[in-house]
Structure formats: structure tokens, C-alpha cells
Amino acid sequence: MPRLRLHLVALALTFGFAAAAPASPNIVLFLVDDLGWQDLSVPMHTQPTEFNARYHTPNLDRLARRGMRFTQAYASAPVCTPTRTSILSGASPARSHISYWTLHRDRDTSRAHPTVRPPAWNMNGLQPAPANLPRLLANAGYRTIHVGKAHFGAHGTDGADPTRLGFEVNIAGHGSGAPASFYGTHGFSRAGRSGNPEATSVWDVPGLEKYHGRDIYLTEALALEADAAVRTALDGGVPFFLNFAPYAVHTPIMANRRRLDRYAALDPKEAAYATMIESADAALGTIMDTLEERGAADRTVIIFTSDNGGLSAHARGGVPHTHNAPLKSGKGSSYEGGTRVPAIIAWPGVTKPDSVCHEPVISHDLYPTILAIAGVAMPVDHAEDVDGVDLGPLVRGTRVGFPVGRVLGWHQPHQWGASGPGIEPFTSIRADRWKLIYFHGDRRFELYDLQTDLGERFDRAASEPAMVAALADRMDRWIRHTGAQLSLHKDADAPIPGPVETLAARD
């Protein structure tokens, strides 16, 4: 056993939890795409909502009963690639400059904005590095498995291939963030979906040829592949890290027809969406059942979350920008609907069953948390680039060692493809109950008290100028600390002024 593991076991014996918490547990990170804060039957609010009643997720209910729900969990960004890469690096999107979603090498995916444009951001995404999470775990003896959506690095770069980032196994992951089709009868491809055998697409899902032509849903095929990979790892007697990332519930919204009957009363598009959620939940259930069958459940940590807020600006049924209520707006937005996500951590012998945590946490916290769970030391030369904080004190229910007065920040100097509330280039921070948003285009501030106004209905910027000034100063310091790149003026190479400079110019 490596010296570090022996040291951790000794510490565990000292504090009396060694028997309950293995030194090298298996770790499953179940990262759903575009799943909203209330898009499951488990309430992530202080009380159930109408959306909780709509969806059927019995396996997430089962997971929550075993672990801890986080009612104020956030994605690192309101779109996918920045969040996914932040989990693998521990760096916030502001620091990594992976501040938007990627697709092709050296190609900017941002849409045009009338007054500002993006800085020279890292449009190729995450690339091979010794400190990438799966690389560190693999070096420590873990079998590292990726299944499903990757979208870590752009096509044409090494980062498009998860095995170059440290995963030993890659199933169906590449540089694209959505499938051409969810149907095996389509071969998960544009050719199958369009009926044109000559059609090809960057969105075609790779590596699942044995399911082509079969009546199988993409999430189901991925669940079968993940289950087989888990069984192989268990047979090998080594701990594993499974990064399971179903392409669901990203567009195209396509129904799993075998699950439609339950949602007959819903708008057809919303019924299809509900089947996508239920299919992801069933995939989680497949993995949980195998762990129980093989006697590995008690030595496996399961972490469940989403990469950004729920889609609401387009492609959904009903009224746009309402699908995350009581939160405002959705994916792509600076508002809570764009970044607040569901999160559950079940660590046998450590988390109190059916417990709840109300502390604000964020996706890049998972990097140091997973390393700590695995007993793997963070590289000293990488620690200064890690913005995440180990959630272990919260998960254990002690809070000892967890930072007090922490500021969370988000930074997206890009115009997303859809329009709607808060969908514009921005920087925002949350400090305790207060949230300040700095919109880059017109340099305006909005201030919300999330404790009394979760839906961000009442902008307090005009009535609380002292609070705006205090938080603008903290935002300025956060921007400098992370090296966040502000938007550029539309017709110049100069960045827009920072929040403190903007306020000073008004006085």
C-alpha cells in the first residue's frame, strides 16, 4: 500500500471511521446534461415543487435516502464545457479561460453581441496535463472510465479524446456535446435520422456500432456499456472511477417511447423531456443495482449533479424561460435558473442518510473532493490553480475546515445562441445571501437578496448602493485573483472596465 494510503488509514483509525469508509472507495460521478434544479422527483428546494411532482426518478430518490442533498448547488457555468472541464481540473472557468462551449479547433462558438465581443479565450478546451483528475486517479491505481458525453476539448485537439486526458476507457465520448439522434434505429447519427445515407455530422455518436439498427435508446445503450465496464473493474479487484455522462437531457429532445405512457397529460415536447429524465434515472438504477449485486455498494461513493441549469429558452414545450421556476430563466443565463443545479452525494459510512446541506457549493469543488475521497494528494504545483474546495467537512456534517464567508463566482464573456432573461455576457458573484451581476454589454449592475428573493424578481441595485459598491470591490478582487478575461469593446482590442472602475465613472 502506498505511503499516502497508509497515512490516511492511520488517520481514519484515529478518528474512528475506518471501518465505514474504505481508504480507496470506488467513485461514480453521474453528470447529467442540462438537467434543471427541480427536474427530478427529489426536492432540491426547502419544499417540493410542481416540477418535482411531474418527474419520475425513483433511483434518485433511493440515492438521496442514502446520502446528502445540496439545496444550493451550482454549476461552474451556465453552459456545458466550462463546467465539465472545471470538474477535471479544479479551476473555475474564469481561471482556465475555458469560458464557453467548444466544438472545433481554434473556432469561436460565441454569437455576436451588439456592443462587446469575447476575449481570446481557450476555445480548444481542456488538454492533456498531469494534474487532470482522471490522470491523478489512474496514477494512484484507479481504473478510470468515461461513458457518454465528454465535450472536454475541441475536435482536432487531443482534448477531444478522453483517453488523452487520463481515462483508460472511453465509450462514446468525443468533442461534441450533443447526439445527432437518441435512437439506435438511427445509428445515433444524422444519416439515420434524416434517411440520407450520405449524411455525416460532427454530432454522430461514436463507438456504439453494435447498437445500430436496434430499437434501443441512447441512454439505455450507455447504461449497458457503463454496467459492463463496472463489472470488469470489479472483476479486476481494483477501485474504479466512473464518469458517467449521458447525453440526455440535451437536445434534440426525443422521447424514449417505452416510457411515454406515464406522461400522457403533458405537452408532447414536455412528455418527451420527462422520458429523457426517467431514462437517465433508470441508468443510475442499473449501476446501483450492479453495485449491490456484487457487494460493492458499501465501498462506492456516488455523486450526482448537472452541468448547468435546465434548458428553457428554446426547444421546450410551453412558455419559454419558465421551466426552472421558482428560479428565473435557464441554461445560458446569469440568473439562478442558468447555474443552480441538483446535487446529491452518497458516501457510505460518511454521509448521514437522507441529510440536507444548505451551503452554497459549486462544480469545481468536486475536483478536490474526489481526490480527498480517493486519498490522492493534489499536486503542489497545481494547488494554486484550484478554485474548488473539498466538500468533505460538509459531507461529514461537521463543517470543520470548510471556509467561512466564501465567495462564489461565474464568468461568461460570451453571447449564448438563444435570447432571454440574463442571456448576455456577464460576471457575477454570490457572497452569503447576496448576488451581484455585472452585465458587460451596457455595464449595468443587478443585485438580489437570494434569501428573500430566490426568483430574482426584485433588483436591489438602486436601493442598496453601499452593498453594490462592497460587492463590486469583491468582484474586482475575484476577477484579479482568477485572471478572468473581461469582454472586449466591439470595435477595439481593449477590455471593458472592471466593476469598480465602472462604478467610479458614475460618481
DSSP SS3 for 502: helix
The pLDDT tens digits for 161-219 are 999 999 999 999 999 999 999 999 999 999 999 999 989 899 999 999 999 999 999 99
pLDDT at 10: 37
Residue that wins the pLDDT comparison between 257 and 13: 257
pLDDT grade for 507, boundaries at 50, 70 and 90: confident
- For residue 72 the three cell numbers come to 444550493
pLDDT value for 293: 98
* Cα(37)–Cα(73) distance, integer angstroms: 9
Instruction: Give pTM, 2 decimals.
Output: 0.95
Confidence of residue 313 (pLDDT cuts 50, 70, 90): very high
What is the grid cell recorded at 64?
Answer: 438521496
**How much is the pLDDT for 21?**
61
Residue 160 has a pLDDT of 98
Report the phi/psi class of residue 27: left, alpha or beta, with left for phi > 0 and alpha for psi in -120 to 50. Answer: beta
Give the integer Cα–Cα distance in Å for 256 and 280.
Answer: 11
Quote the CATH superfamily of domain 3-109+120-395.
Alkaline Phosphatase, subunit A (3.40.720.10)
CA 232 to CA 300: how far, in whole Å? 15
pLDDT of 416-469, one tens digit each?
999 999 999 999 999 999 999 999 999 999 999 999 999 999 999 999 999 999
Q: Check residue 12 and give its pLDDT.
A: 40
**Residue 243 phi, psi dihedral angles, 5° rounding:** -100, 95
**pLDDT at residue 18 above 70?**
no
For the stretch 5-11, contacts whose Cβ atoms lie closer than 8 Å and that sit 24 or more positions apart, written own/partner, are: 5/375, 8/375
- Reading the block at residue 420, the C-alpha cell is 432571454
In one letter, which amino acid is 113?
Answer: H
Is the CATH number of domain 425-506 3.30.1490.20?
no
Give the Cβ contact number of residue 504 at 10 Å.
Answer: 12
Q: Which ranges in the chain are annotated with CATH 3.30.1120.10?
A: 425-506
Which helix (DSSP H) or strand (DSSP E) does residue 506 occupy? helix 499-506
As a whole number, mean pLDDT of residues 307-316 equals 98
The DSSP secondary structure of 245-292, one letter per residue, reads: E-STTSSS----GGG-GGGTTS-HHHHHHHHHHHHHHHHHHHHHHHHH
Alpha helix stretches (DSSP H) within 90-204: 93-96, 133-139, 190-194
pLDDT digits (tens, 9 = 90+) for 335-381: 999 999 999 999 999 999 999 999 999 999 999 999 999 999 999 99
Residues 440, 116: Cα–Cα separation, whole Å: 7
The span from the CA of 199 to the CA of 110, in Å, is 26
Q: What is the mean pLDDT of residues 42-48?
A: 94
User: What's the whole-number mean pLDDT along residues 74-92?
Assistant: 98
pLDDT classification of 16: cutoffs 50, 70, 90: very low
* Dihedral in degrees, nearest 10, Cα atoms 372, 374, 379, 385: -50
Where are the domain boundaries for CATH 3.40.720.10 in the chain? 3-109+120-395
Q: What is the pLDDT of residue 105?
A: 98
C-alpha angle 41-171-152 in degrees, rounded to nearest 5: 80
Cα gap 317→325, rounded to integer Å: 14
pLDDT band at 273 (very low <50, low <70, confident <90, very high): very high
Segment 476-494 mean pLDDT: 96
Mean pLDDT of the chain: 95
Packing angle between helix 268-293 and helix 218-236, nearest 10 degrees?
10
* CB-CB contact of 179 with 206 (8 Å): no
Do 365 and 341 form a contact (C-beta atoms < 8 A)?
no
What is the predicted pLDDT for the residue at 423? 98
pLDDT digits (tens, 9 = 90+) for 377-425: 999 999 999 999 999 999 999 888 899 999 999 999 999 999 999 999 9
Nearest partner of 142 among 226, 245, 28, 244, judged by Cα = 28
Q: Write the DSSP assignment of 364-412 as a string of letters.
A: GGHHHHHHHHHT-PPPHHHHTT------HHHHTT--TTPPSS-EEEEEE
Is the pLDDT at 320 greater than 80? The verdict is yes
Percent of the chain with pLDDT over 90: 93
Q: What is the mean pLDDT of residues 117-126?
A: 98
**pLDDT above 50 (res 19):** no
Kindly report, residue by residue over 128-157, the tens digit of the pLDDT: 999 999 999 999 999 999 999 999 999 999
| Exposed / middle / buried, residue 255 (Cβ in 10 Å: 0-12, 13-18, 19+) | buried
* Cell numbers at 315, concatenated: 426547444
Give pairs for 103-111: CB < 8 Å, separation 24+. Answer: 103/154, 103/155, 103/175, 103/176, 103/177, 103/202, 104/154, 104/155, 104/156, 104/175, 104/202, 105/154, 105/155, 105/156, 105/157, 106/154, 106/156, 107/154, 110/414, 110/415, 111/414, 111/415, 111/416, 111/417
Compute how many other C-beta atoms are within 10 angstroms of the C-beta atom of residue 120: 10
With cut-offs at 50, 70 and 90, classify the pLDDT of residue 60.
very high
222 pLDDT higher than 70? yes
Q: Residues of 371-404 as b/e, b for ≥16 C-beta within 10 angstroms? A: bbbbbbebeeebeebbbbbbbbebbbeeeeebee
Mean pLDDT of 488-492: 94
**Alpha-carbon span 487 to 482, nearest angstrom:** 15
Q: How far apart are CA 355 and CA 350, in angstroms?
A: 11
Q: Which of 85, 126, 125, 123 is nearest to 107 (CA)?
A: 123
